[in-house]
Structure 1
Amino acid sequence: MRAAYIEQFGPPEVITYGELAEPRPGPNDVLVDVAVTAVNHVDTFVRSGAWRTPLAFPFVIGRDLAGTVAEAGPGAAGFAPGERVWCNSLGHAGRQGAAAERAVVPAERLYRLPDGVDPEDAVAVAHPAATAYLALFTHGRVRPGDTVVVEGGAGNVGSALVVMAAEAGARVVATARAGDAELCRALGAAEVVDHRDPQAAKRLREHCPAGADLYLDTSGRNDLEGAVDLLAKRGRIVLLAGMRTRPVLPVGPLYLKDCSIAGFAISQATTAELAEAAATINRLLAAGRLRPRVLSRLPLSDAARAHRMVEEGAGGGKIVLSVT
C-alpha cells in the first residue's frame, strides 16, 4: 500500500511517500480503507520528536482518518465491511498512523460516520471538535449559565468551542478578527471582541461584568496574568495549546479567588472520553452545526508539504490529504 511515513525524527523533509506492507488487524481491530486524513499540529510534534511517544519505524504519520471498513476482527464484530467510519486517535502510544491507503484501528477508537456527512468534513473537525469537547466538559466542567471566554473563536478549535458551549447553555464571549465577528455570533457567541483592538482586555472585562467562569485560549499565547484577572470566583482556565509557551502565573490572585488551572492534551484522553466526545461530534455533524470553515486539499503524496504549511501557519484553515 502507499503511505506517508518516517524512518527517523526530523523536519517535514523526513516524510517519505512510498510503499509499505499492508497492516493486518488483530482480533479487536478493524482494517479501514482510508479515504482522507488530516494534518494537525500534534502530528508535527510527533514527527519532529518534540513529543516523544512510543513508535516503531517505519512509522506512518497522522492521527485522523475517514473511510470504510474493509475487514473486522472477531472481537470487533460490531463493524461490517463497507460501513463508513472515522477515527481521531491513531499515530500515538505505539499505534501506527492514518496517512496510508489502509490503517488498522482498535474497535474502541472507531466511530460510525453519520449518513449524509462528507468524510472530508468529518476528518477536518474530528481533532479540533474532540479537543473542544474535552476542554469544555471533561476538564472545564462547563455548566448552564456559565460565562465562557473563547480566545480565537473563529479557528478550528475555537469555532467548535463556541458551538458546544452555547449549546450547553453557557454565555460565550469570543475574541476574533473584526471580519470574523458575525461568524462567531452565528455559531452562538453572545459577544465578540476584536483581538487586535488595543482595548481588547478592557472590552472583555466589560462583557464579563461578574468575571469569566471558564477561560480557554486556542492560540496558545496563554496570557495567564490577563486570564486570571478576568476570572470570576472559582473560575477555571483550561490550557489546550502552546506547548512551548512559558507564561507568568499570578499565584496570589489565582488562589485568593479559589480559581484553578487544568491542562490537557487530547493524546492522553481515555477511549471512554474520546467515545463520549465522538457521540456529540456525530450529533452536531449530522445537524450541520459542525463544519470546517476552510479546507486546503492536497494529495497524500504532498504530506511533507502539508506538515510544512502547518508549521508555518499557512493553508488558511484545515489541511486534509486525499488518500483515494
Structure 2
Amino acid sequence: MRAAFITQLGSPDVIRHGELPPPVPGPNDVLVDVEATAVNHVDGFVRSGAWRTPLEFPFVIGRDLVGTVAAVGPGAPGFRPGDRVWCNSLGHDGRQGAAAEQAVVAADRLYHLPEGADPVAAVALAHPAATAHLALFAHGRLRAGETVAVLGAGGNVGSAIVTMAARAGARVIAVASGRDEDYVRSLGADEVVDYRHSDVAGRIRAAAPAGVDLHVDTSGRNDLDTAVDLLASRGRLVLLAGLRTRPVLPVGPLYLMDRSVHGFAISHADTAQLAAAARGINGLLTSGHLRPRATEVLPLSEAADAHRRLDEGKVRGKLVLGMHR
C-alpha cells in the first residue's frame, strides 16, 4: 500500500512517500480503506520528537482518517464491511498512523460517519472538534447559562469551541482578529474582542463584569496572571496549547476565589472521553452546525510539503491528504 512514513525523527524532510506492507488487524481491530487524513500540528510534534511517544519504524504519520471498513475482527462488533467510518486517535502511543491507503483501528476508537456527512469536512474537524469538546465538557465542566471566553476564536479549535459552547446554551465572548468578527458571530459568539486591541482584558471585563466562568486560550499564549484575574468565583481556566510556555501561576487569586486551572492533551484522552466527543461531533455534523472554515486537499505524495507549510505557519484552515485511488 502507499503510505507517508518516517524512519527517523526530524524535520518534514524525513517524511517519505512509498510502498509499505498492508497492516494486519488483530481480533479487536477494524481494517479501514482510507479515503483522507488530516494534517495537524500534533502530527509535527510526533514526527519531530517534541511529543515523546512510542514509535515503531517505519512509522506511518497522521492521526485522523475517514474511510470505509474493509474487514472486521471477531472481537470488533458494531462494524461491517462497507461502513463509512472515522477516527482521530492513531499515530501515537504505539499505534501506527492514518496517512496510508489502509489503516488498522481498534474498534473502540472508530466511529460511524453520519449519513450524508462530507468526508473531507469530517476528517478536517476530527481533531479540533474533539479537542474543543474535551475542553468544554470533560475538563471545563461547562453548564448552560455560563459565560465562556475563547481566545483564538477564529482558528480551527477556537471556532469549534465557539460553536459547541453556543449550542450548549453558554454566553460566548470571542477574542479573534477583527477580520474574523462576522465569522465568529455567525458561529454563535455574543461578543467579539479584537485581539489587537490595546486592552483586551478590559474589553472582556466590560462584557462580563462578574467574571467568566470558563476561559480557554487556544492561541497558546497562556498569560495566566491576566486570565485568572478574569475568572468569576469558581471559574475554570483550561490549558490546551503552548507546549513550550512556562507562565507564572498566580496562586493567591486562585485559592481565594476557588478558581482552578486544568491542563489536558487530547493524546491522553481515554476511549470513553473520545467516544463522548465523537457522539457530540456526529450530532453537529448531522445538523450542519459544525463545519470547517476552509480545507485544502493535497495528494498523499505531498505529505512532507504539507508538514513544512504547517510548521512555517503558512496554513489557514485545514490541510487534508487524499488517497486519490
Same fold (TM over 0.5): yes
Shift of residue 308 of structure 1? Answer: 1.0
Distance in 2 separating the partners of 1:283 and 1:258: 34
Partners of 1:292 and 1:163 in 2: CA distance: 11
Give TM-score, length-normalised by structure 1. Answer: 0.99
In structure 2, distance between residues paired with 1:293 and 1:306: 18
The aligned amino acid for 1:156 is N
Match of 2:185 in 1: 185
Matched, 1:75 2:79: no
Give the match for residue 126 of structure 1. Answer: 126
SS of 1:18's equivalent in the other structure is: strand
Equivalent-residue separation in structure 2 for 1:134 and 1:315 (angstroms): 24
Q: CA RMSD in A?
A: 0.8
Distance 1:307 1:215 in 2: 30
- In structure 2, how many angstroms separate the alpha carbons of the residues matched to 1:77 and 1:212? 43
TM-aligned CA deviation for residue 51 of structure 1? 0.9
Counterparts of 2:261 and 2:199 in 1: how far apart (Å)?
25
1:97 match: 97
What SS does structure 2 have at the residue aligned with 1:75? Answer: coil
| CA displacement 1:22-77 (0-9 Å, x = unmatched) | 00111110000000000111100100011111110000000000010011111113
CA distance in 2, matches of 1:182, 1:317: 16
What corresponds to 2:262 in structure 1? 262
In structure 1, what is the equivalent of residue 323 of structure 2? Answer: 323
Secondary structure of the corresponding residue to residue 93 of structure 1:
coil
* Aligned-partner Cα distance in 2 for 1:114–1:253: 45
Report % sequence identity. 69
Greater shift, 268-277 or 193-202, is seen at 193-202
Indicate the SS of the match to 1:13. helix
Task: Kindly state the Cα deviation for residue 296 of structure 1 after the two structures are TM-superposed.
Answer: 1.9
Count how many residue pairs are aligned between Structure 1 and Structure 2: 324
| CA displacement 1:104-156 (0-9 Å, x = unmatched) | 00010000001111110000001000000000000000111111000011111
| CA distance in structure 2 between the partners assigned to 1:4 and 1:217 by the alignment | 32
Q: Where does structure 1 differ by over 4 angstroms across 4 or more consecutive aligned residues?
A: none
Residue number in structure 2 paired with 1:278: 278
Structure 1's unaligned 5+ residue stretches are none
Query: Paired residue for 2:15?
Result: 15
Mark the runs of 5 or more structure 2 residues left unpaired by the alignment: none
Is 1:144 the equivalent of 2:133? no
Contact 1:296–1:318 (CA<8 Å) still a contact in 2?
A: yes
- Deviation at residue 287 of structure 1 after TM alignment: 0.8
Match runs of 1:177-216 below 5 Å: 177-216=177-216
The residue type equivalent to 2:312 in the other structure is E
Inter-partner Cα distance in structure 1 for 2:309 and 2:222: 23
Give, in whole Å, the separation in 2 of the partners of 1:175 and 1:233: 21
Aligned to 2:38: 38
SS across alignment from 1:228: helix
2:94 is equivalent to residue 106 of structure 1: no
The 2-side partners of 1:141 and 1:60 are apart by 35
What is the CA distance between 1:199 and its match in structure 2?
A: 2.2
Contact 1:84 1:112 in 2 (8 A): yes
Contact 1:297-1:319 at 8 Å conserved across structures: yes
Following the alignment from structure 1 to structure 2, what is the Cα–Cα distance between the partners of residues 315 and 157? Answer: 14
Q: For residue 226 of structure 1, what is the aligned residue in structure 2? A: 226
TM-score by length of structure 2 reads 0.98
Question: Corresponding residue for 2:245?
Answer: 245
